[in-house]
Structure 1
Amino acid sequence: MEAVVDTSSAVAPGSDAPGVDRKERIVRTIFLFAIPFIMISMMFATYMSTMHSPHPRGMPVAVIGSDAQAQAVGEQLHAASGDATEVRAVASRGEAVDLLKNRKIVAALQPPAAGGDAATILTAMAAGASQATTAQQLLAPVAIQQQWTTTVDDIAPLPDGDRAGIAVLFAAMGMMLAGYVPLSMLLGGLPHLLRLRRFLPLLAGWSAATSTIIWLILGPIVGAVDGHYLTFLGIGMLATAAVGLTQLLFTKVMGPFAVLLGMLLYVVFGMPSSNLAVPVYSMPGFFQFLHGILPLPAAGEALRSALYFEHRSIAPHLITLAVWIIAALVLCLLKERSASGTTIPGAPPVTDPDAKLPAFAGGPLRSKRFRYIAVPAFPLTILTVVVGVMSFSMHDPQPHKIPVAILAANPAQADQAADGLRQRLDGILDIQVATSVPEATERIRDRDIVAAFALPTERGGTATLYSSSAAGYSQQTMVRSIFQQISAAQQMPLATNDLTPLHTTDTMGSNSLYVGMSWIMSGFLIMAVLRGGAPHLRRLRQFVPYLGGWAIGMSVWLWLLFDVIIDAVSGPPLAMIGFGVLTILAVALATGVFTRTLGLPAIIPVMAVMVMAGVPASGGGLSIYMVPELFQPLRHLLPLPAAVDTARSLTYFGGTATGHNLLIIAVWAGAGLLLNLAIDRWLRRRERRTDASHPSIALETSAARVDTGQVEPANAY
């Protein structure tokens, strides 16, 4: 999403510049639309294909002990888990702890002492919460088969301020953004700074400044990190320099298209191979290989080593970053000394640094002083928004006001149980009373409540907890944990009933989030590209045909990608495609209101609202009842929550309860259409005033439009 600024060299569709024939115009139009198509396709094809159904692959675990019992347990574990684990034997608990702290294993099972039945599972949540949980799920059944009781010993717990373990993820992602986003701005606005002798001191200062900002956000502001400023500064400078120098090399060779390669390496391939969100041992082998090579995993694992593991095993990750720096530096030097020298494809053909150039693609000509401020401000704002909003919303997931219903054989019993739970769990659960099981289960399927707790119908009977993993895996896990504790305290057996289970191709329940995000990004990326590469499309009637074709084409392509090619989403095709078209159009029209009036910088507030605030408000990953409460009202207002819930409903619930979502999208589309029409009128009035007050300028501008199909940069909006 941050790469939209790199459309500055795209030529506008339909350009009639002298010497440009029809065939060349068609080619340039295709390239213009190819940029967002490639970005969206490579991002969501990779994320959906790797994360729709992750499962352990060679996860290293250990069994503690050297006696016959430990050997037998190891063999049993290997037989039960197959290729999911790589089992090794260690002689002592101390050796297992060392391996855990060095991240050579992800968990260890310590059998009971002679004559006992209490086994221990050793994990390290700071090495990855999801990874530790997966390992427990692999080891616990073996202990149960041996009729052992088990306790979990977390030898490296996460701090209270970062219970989700996302600090290193967003810190490393921020360092990637700081490294590769500014190069596109420099190429178009300050190309003279792309010489190594000028670039290196700027990169050093920029790396220090952005690393400090990332630490300030995650530390003093959000509270996910306590101290460690120098750690962030050192690793941040290394990571940002590695990415920045590599992206400089790509830019010198590929010009504006370097962003595609950079985005592929740092973000698209970097995220699934990072081991920061999803265990790398649940990814295909190709991404496990990339884990030891790419900058994002290196930066994240280096931070993890320093923050939680006393700098153990940090050296390989720092060496990885150093290799990227040295290799990129040497190749940049060779490029500058080659026959092509300092020539960069797509760079403005100017040699005077003081010559006026647009600070943003498609914008007016600006002075060098203005560009010195605007060019770094753009990526810095993106960095602040991404790291700030996402870390604030996800660093400390706490359940609050989860709507659940209580069922009992008679209303009085249900009311009494509900009152008792309200006193004990006030603020955590929103307790309601249902009159029947069919009523409660229907409300669960309509996503009005998360779960229903049915009390036993007789003394000593079994209670039942109804929920739906398809409505939200994280919230189902939370309510099950809560009611299992309640039932255990009451010595009441508890049965669980998953009314709508997740498909085997959607084991994390995140597919609907990726579908919704792909629609949203298709909408706002196309307007950013048109603003940067086709600023002459000034009227709604001019660009609406492009938007219509884009919306239909992208919605059909995304359905083919997710359903037919990857086989991860199985909603009704016409409904999925139709809602996708409406969502893309609505977001594009809304985005156009800002890009047509404020220019390319407008994508920052659009991104902040549509994506950064939309993700936590959608419940597509973390439950809406586990993020800060200010996001709850946004789920009824923003397009992304509506898109995610609709994709989920069409896939799992037969399209029920989607009318409100359709209304949200329609309101955004209608408001965007009306405001764009108002902007058309404003532009016409402004042009008439210009024509009346400056006839000579108007004559020159009209001639320019006839000859080139574009507006003069000084008059661009």
Structure 2
Amino acid sequence: MRTRAPLAADPSPSHWTAVARAVVLLTAAISVLLIAFAWPSVRSSVHDVPIAVAGPATAVGQIGAALDQRLPGGFEITEVADTAAAEQLIRDRQVYGAIDVSSGSPRIITASAAGAAVAQTLQGIAAGLGQATGTSPTVAVRDLVALPADDPRGAGLAAGALPLVMGGLLAGLLLTRLVRGTARQVIGALAFASTSGLAVAAILQFWFGSLGGSYPANSGAIALTIAATSVSILGLASLLGYVGFGLGAVTMMLIGNPLSGTATAPEMLPGWSGELGRLLPPGAGGQLLRSTAFFDGHGATHPVVVLITWLTAGVVLCLAGGLRARRGGSVPSIDHTRTDGL
């Protein structure tokens, strides 16, 4: 004779205090996300943006006074003698644009590939400069380093910043969970960075038309960015487990991505945030990709140093985590199959 086992009783519902704690935690989380992603955009403005002014000292002084009146503290001016010197500074990525008064009437030289927002700001002050110098109110504007015709607003480059960060985070998580051995995890991250660099650069350059320049150089810039992100997260997770992965995710996603300045320019971000963004992989990677895609590699030294530093630090942390595990140290792991070898 068969007897049916009694159904298990439903667990008693959570106390209302648990519900309240969950609501408070979720509210805090969405508030942090909003602040992280919206604050840089809402508070962005033109301040200390480097530009060149070409022409005689008297005319340069008039332009400087007009700019200070229109946008106080907006520009950091480098005085040059002629048009050629101003254009060279733009191509070397030392300035975002120039105001040329060497021939009398002011002319605006922009570089939308360096930052479309800065180029639009310079175009917006053109009429005011003509009135300030007593010349024609119509001021000629020339884009010296333009964005590609297929993506004149630079939307692909700006939108591509988030997938690069997400790819690095995903690589760090999956490699930690699925691959055993510190050396294999690092090699996997580097291999992923190489293949994804080739794929992402091909999509942005040949399909979307968002990049110019050399495809191998663009692929290398993207690969280095993803490698720096994924290996540094791997290192933190190897040494600190869940805490390390969370720390890496917060650093890259909630701090690095909003402060990258890829959609505008680091100088337009509020306060110190632009300088901080340059020191994190998302910001350094965006600046490096602009250099390889539009400026023949000029201005790439600083972002390359930043990315290599993060990559090296990640490798060191991975080695430290692996050695600690081999010696039997207690490390909070991402999963229950903690690797214990190189």
Normalised to the residue count of structure 2, the TM-score between the two structures is 0.83
Structure 1 equivalent of residue 66 of structure 2: 76
Are residues 1:280 and 2:244 paired? no
Q: Pairwise mapping of residues 251-290 of structure 1 onto structure 2 (< 5 A)?
A: 251-290=237-276
2: distance between equivalents of 1:28 and 1:325?
A: 42
Q: Would you say how many aligned residue pairs link Structure 1 and Structure 2?
A: 327
Deviations 1:44-89 (A, max 9, x none): 1122222124221212222211332223332332344222222232
2: distance between equivalents of 1:28 and 1:91?
A: 68
1: distance between equivalents of 2:67 and 2:152?
A: 29
Check the 8 A contact 2:40/2:269 in 1, yes or no: yes
Are residues 1:347 and 2:334 paired? yes
User: Deviation at 1:254?
Assistant: 4.2
Of 93, 115, 124, the residue aligned with 2:83 is 93
Structure 1 equivalent of residue 132 of structure 2: 145
Are residues 1:134 and 2:121 paired? yes
2: distance between equivalents of 1:238 and 1:55?
A: 30
Task: Label 1:292 to 1:164 Cα distance change in 2 as closer, same or farther (>3 A).
Answer: same
Check the 8 A contact 1:62/1:87 in 2, yes or no: yes
User: Deviation at 1:212?
Assistant: 2.1
2: distance between equivalents of 1:71 and 1:244?
A: 49
Task: Label 1:107 to 1:227 Cα distance change in 2 as closer, same or farther (>3 A).
Answer: closer
User: Deviation at 1:131?
Assistant: 1.6
1: distance between equivalents of 2:21 and 2:243?
A: 14
Task: Label 1:84 to 1:33 Cα distance change in 2 as closer, same or farther (>3 A).
Answer: same
Check the 8 A contact 2:240/2:332 in 1, yes or no: yes
Of 71, 79, 97, the residue aligned with 1:107 is 97
Structure 2 equivalent of residue 157 of structure 1: 146
User: Deviation at 1:101?
Assistant: 1.8
Deviations 1:501-521 (A, max 9, x none): xxxxxxxxxxxxxxxxxxxxx
Check the 8 A contact 1:64/1:108 in 2, yes or no: yes
Are residues 1:167 and 2:167 paired? no
User: Deviation at 1:240?
Assistant: 1.3
One-letter amino acid of the structure 1 residue matched with residue 282 of structure 2: L
Check the 8 A contact 2:213/2:296 in 1, yes or no: no
Structure 2 equivalent of residue 318 of structure 1: 304
Find the structure with the greater CA-based Rg. 1
Check the 8 A contact 2:47/2:267 in 1, yes or no: yes
Task: Label 1:315 to 1:28 Cα distance change in 2 as closer, same or farther (>3 A).
Answer: farther
1: distance between equivalents of 2:68 and 2:84?
A: 23
Deviations 1:608-640 (A, max 9, x none): xxxxxxxxxxxxxxxxxxxxxxxxxxxxxxxxx
Of 30, 36, 39, the residue aligned with 1:40 is 30
Structure 2 equivalent of residue 228 of structure 1: 214
Are residues 1:307 and 2:293 paired? yes
Check the 8 A contact 2:242/2:332 in 1, yes or no: yes
Structure 1 equivalent of residue 235 of structure 2: 249
Deviations 1:278-323 (A, max 9, x none): 2322211221211330111111111111111111111211111001
One-letter amino acid of the structure 2 residue matched with residue 291 of structure 1: G
Task: Label 1:207 to 1:235 Cα distance change in 2 as closer, same or farther (>3 A).
Answer: same
User: Deviation at 1:216?
Assistant: 3.1
2: distance between equivalents of 1:99 and 1:319?
A: 21
Are residues 1:51 and 2:41 paired? yes
Structure 2 equivalent of residue 204 of structure 1: 190
Check the 8 A contact 1:180/1:243 in 2, yes or no: yes
Check the 8 A contact 2:118/2:264 in 1, yes or no: yes
Structure 2 equivalent of residue 183 of structure 1: 172
Check the 8 A contact 2:147/2:210 in 1, yes or no: no
1: distance between equivalents of 2:113 and 2:335?
A: 48
Check the 8 A contact 1:128/1:279 in 2, yes or no: yes
Query: What's the % identity of the aligned pairs?
Result: 23
1: distance between equivalents of 2:114 and 2:11?
A: 54
Check the 8 A contact 1:272/1:280 in 2, yes or no: no
Task: Label 1:351 to 1:317 Cα distance change in 2 as closer, same or farther (>3 A).
Answer: closer
SS of aligned partner of 2:297: coil
2: distance between equivalents of 1:71 and 1:351?
A: 65
Deviations 1:111-131 (A, max 9, x none): 2635xxx32101101101112
1: distance between equivalents of 2:113 and 2:310?
A: 27
Task: Label 1:233 to 1:342 Cα distance change in 2 as closer, same or farther (>3 A).
Answer: farther
Deviations 1:345-394 (A, max 9, x none): 253334699xxxxxxxxxxxxxxxxxxxxxxxxxxxxxxxxxxxxxxxxx
User: Deviation at 1:163?
Assistant: 1.0
SS of aligned partner of 2:53: strand
SS of aligned partner of 1:161: coil
2: distance between equivalents of 1:257 and 1:32?
A: 23
One-letter amino acid of the structure 2 residue matched with residue 155 of structure 1: L
Check the 8 A contact 1:77/1:87 in 2, yes or no: no
Check the 8 A contact 1:179/1:240 in 2, yes or no: yes
Q: Name whichever structure is richer in helix by fraction.
A: 1
Structure 1 equivalent of residue 315 of structure 2: 329
Check the 8 A contact 1:81/1:138 in 2, yes or no: no
Deviations 1:408-428 (A, max 9, x none): xxxxxxxxxxxxxxxxxxxxx
User: Deviation at 1:31?
Assistant: 7.7
SS of aligned partner of 1:87: strand
User: Deviation at 1:343?
Assistant: 4.9
Task: Label 1:147 to 1:15 Cα distance change in 2 as closer, same or farther (>3 A).
Answer: farther
Deviations 1:206-256 (A, max 9, x none): 112212221232233333345733123312221111111111122234433
Task: Label 1:335 to 1:350 Cα distance change in 2 as closer, same or farther (>3 A).
Answer: closer
User: Deviation at 1:106?
Assistant: 1.9
In structure 2, the gaps of 5 or more residues are: 1-9
Q: CA RMSD in A?
A: 3.2
1: distance between equivalents of 2:339 and 2:303?
A: 41
Check the 8 A contact 1:251/1:344 in 2, yes or no: no
SS of aligned partner of 1:349: coil
Check the 8 A contact 2:53/2:100 in 1, yes or no: yes
Q: Pairwise mapping of residues 288-687 of structure 1 onto structure 2 (< 5 A)?
A: 288-338=274-324, 343-350=330-337
One-letter amino acid of the structure 2 residue matched with residue 56 of structure 1: V
Task: Label 1:69 to 1:295 Cα distance change in 2 as closer, same or farther (>3 A).
Answer: same
